[in-house]
Amino acid sequence: MAVLGGVVSACIGADGETCPEARLEAVRAQDLKEKDCGARMWREAIQQVLISETELHRRIQALGEAITADYRGKDLIFVAVIRGAMMFSADLARAVDLPLTIDCIALSSYGDRHVSSGRVHIFKDLSESIAGKHVLIIEDIVDTGITLQYLWNHLMSRHPADLHVCALLDKRARRQVELPIKYTGFDVPDAFVVGYGLDYQQRYRNLPFIGILHPEVFEKERLQV
């Protein structure tokens, strides 16, 4: 799959589901037009817009409707994996028409680097018990799957009624550990994506869209390894 030379535009069918294969389009200059990118800083750091604000909103509404239907009558708790999933979990929770509860767990495997360290650290654990509850892990991205595997084992040891995963982005090309993802927003290519909660060295989380970071931004780090 072409990665850095093309835009992946997640296509949404009439039923609201993501097509299994992302649609590639040629990069167009208007991808970085002012209304999408705003500040000049973003224009210099972002190679291209991958998923627009509008596409994010539409897909999250569809995910929210699916979760509402699946969890009606159940004691549902969102476990938001922060910091990456803070934007997604906040918007998704508002798209779910159920009296769910929300807890957060702070994990990190990347630190400030652009590749995963493979070691997961818990910076903040859950505040509430999940025993007997229907737990939905809310992740911004599943990449190698190492973080999710760690979290899955951590939560299963606390005896939830059931445990499932909702990931906004699925970067399947880099998967090392396979776990079932019940709800997926978009499949993404093997490129460094930022925005809408995803960072590089803690920056770019506040972009309202998902974009591909320009390789020059992390070239300096790569040369130092």
Which amino acid type is present at position 115?
V
- Residue by residue, DSSP assigns 81-99 as EETTTHHHHHHHHHH--S-
For ligand PRP, the nearest residue by Cβ is: 84
3-state secondary structure of 221: helix
83 binds ligand PRP (CB under 6 A): yes
Interface of this chain with ligand PRP, residues 141 to 160, rule: CB under 6 A: 141-148
Query: Shortest Cβ distance from residue 208 to ligand PRP (Å)?
Result: 17
**Catalytically annotated residue among 143, 170, 187, 199:** 143
- Residue by residue, DSSP assigns 152-166 as HHHHHTT--SEEEEE
210 binds ligand PRP (CB under 6 A): no
Query: Shortest Cβ distance from residue 195 to ligand PRP (Å)?
Result: 12
89 binds ligand PRP (CB under 6 A): no
184 binds ligand PRP (CB under 6 A): no
84 binds ligand PRP (CB under 6 A): yes
Contact residue for ligand PRP among 10, 67, 81, 165 (CB under 6 A): 81
Q: Is 143 a catalytic residue?
A: yes
109 binds ligand PRP (CB under 6 A): yes
Return the number of the residue (66 or 82) whose C-beta is nearest ligand PRP.
82
Query: Shortest Cβ distance from residue 84 to ligand PRP (Å)?
Result: 3
3-state secondary structure of 213: strand
The dihedral sign for the CA sequence 135, 140, 141, 146: negative
Sheet containing 46-51, strands listed edge to edge, beginning at the edge strand earlier in sequence:
46-51, 210-213, 193-194
Nearest to 177 by CA among 143, 154, 151, 153: 143
Cα 79 from Cα 96, distance rounded (Å): 14
Query: Shortest Cβ distance from residue 218 to ligand PRP (Å)?
Result: 13
- 31-39, 136-144, 183-191, 206-214 -> range binding ligand PRP (CB under 6 A): 136-144
> Are 59 and 91 a contacting pair, CB within 8 Å?
no
Return the number of the residue (107 or 207) whose C-beta is nearest ligand PRP.
107
What are the backbone angles phi and psi of residue 164, rounded to the nearest 5°?
-140, 170
The catalytic residues are 143
Site for ligand PRP, rule CB under 6 A: 81, 83-84, 107-110, 116, 139-148, 199
